[in-house]
Structure 1
Amino acid sequence: MSREDLARRQAELLQALLADGPPPAGFDASRLRVEAQVLRRKHGRVLAYQRPELAEALGDRFGELFAEFNAGRPKRDTERSGAYADEFVTWLIERGHLPKPRRGLRERLRRR
């Protein structure tokens, strides 16, 4: 297999796991869905670890809200976790799940 073919197949697999893309040839679709769910939950836990103030503010709603956000906007493989977390915060504020931050709070959240 050429490097180009390998890179294409890896990209297809990442698309299936991270962005609800179609399963690549030779992969079981149901197993990919399970693995994708595991990866998304893991990413939610990492985000909660990186932004404990966010997880604390949302409490028990964190997992459910992150899953909803992630379903509509999966993390891209080239995207920094911090930038993705910032988008999640913005999404939460826009939908009223978090209060609009006082001046300066949003910038402090972004720096973390």
Structure 2
Amino acid sequence: MTRQAEPAGHPEPAEPAGHPGGAGDFDPALAAAQEALVRAMTAGAPVPGGFDAAAVRAAADGILRKRAGEVARVWPILAASYGTDWPRVFAAWAAGRPTRGSVRDAWDFALAHRAELPPEAALDLALAEARWAYDGQGEPRRRRAAVRRVPGGVAVQLLGRVRVLGRGTRR
């Protein structure tokens, strides 16, 4: 079977607008602008030229509120201990920090505020530290055994089972 010639009057398809040379071309200037915009919305970087600063800041605020909600879902006692101030307090802390995932955001926040955590949140942090090894850099890893101070006692973890010993604890 042979291919028939295109009828006259049917030109070759045109390149899509804004994509000279095809969709596979890489535009370094566009990539740099996109990266700068993402950094401005997620890590507190300056708003790049050519963008509406108020709109970028509004998007950044929305992203911070979403992060606060995600952290509240993975570590509810931590968020509840701040009450209605949680979104504001978390956003103030997270504004210049890119996310590393909601679990690590929660853990990093708790570690940064360890001295001021209410007793329930301090207990929750101590129990997490008994179960997991986390250095603030890598991924948390399960511990085989650990002992951690908790408000009013001590948490002992052995092979995945945690017991709290002492007065005034509820776990």
- TM (norm. structure 2) is 0.52
Q: Which runs of 5+ in 1 are unaligned?
A: none
Structure-2 separation of matches of 1:80 and 1:106: 16
Structure 1 pair 102/80, CA: closer, same or farther in 2 (3 Å)?
A: closer
Given the alignment of the two structures, is residue 98 of structure 1 paired with residue 118 of structure 2, yes or no?
yes
Find the counterpart in structure 1 of residue 37 from structure 2. Answer: 13
Larger fraction in helix = 1
Contact 1:69 1:88 survives alignment (8 Å): yes
2-side partners of 1:98 and 1:22: how far apart?
Answer: 35
Alignment partner of 1:75 is 2:98: yes
Q: Contact conserved, 2:75 with 2:103, CA < 8 A, in 1?
A: no
The answer (yes or no) to whether the contact 1:92–1:98 under 8 Å persists in 2 is: no
Q: Which amino acid aligns with 1:88?
A: F
Task: Write out per-residue CA displacement over residues 44-83 of structure 1, whole angstroms, 9 at most, x where no aligned residue.
Answer: 1111112112222322232232122123x4224xx23322
Instruction: For 1:103 and 1:31, locate their aligned partners in 2 and report how far apart those are by CA, in whole Å.
Output: 36
Is the alpha carbon distance of 1:19 and 1:59 closer, same or farther for their aligned partners in structure 2, counting shifts above 3 Å? same
* Deviations 1:2-61, CA, capped at 9 Å, x for gaps: 343333222101111112222223211111111111111111111111211222232223
Q: What stretches of structure 1 move > 6 A for 4+ residues in a row?
A: none
Query: Which residue identity is paired with 2:33?
Result: R
Identity %: 29
Of structures 1 and 2, the larger Rg is shown by 2
Aligned position for 1:44 = 68
Q: Which residue of the other structure, out of 47, 55, 58, is the alignment partner of 2:82? A: 58
Structure with a larger share of its residues in strand: 2
Residues 15-34 of structure 1: matches in 2 within 5 Å? 15-34=39-58
Larger RCO, structures 1/2 (Cα 8 Å, 6+ apart) = 1
Distance 1:103 1:88, change over 3 A: closer
Tell me by how many angstroms 1:92 deviates: 1.9
TM-score by length of 1: 0.74
Distance 1:97 1:103, change over 3 A: closer
Q: 2 CA distance for matches of 1:47 and 1:102?
A: 14
Please say if residues 18 and 74 of structure 1, whose CA atoms lie closer than 8 Å, have aligned partners that are also in contact.
yes
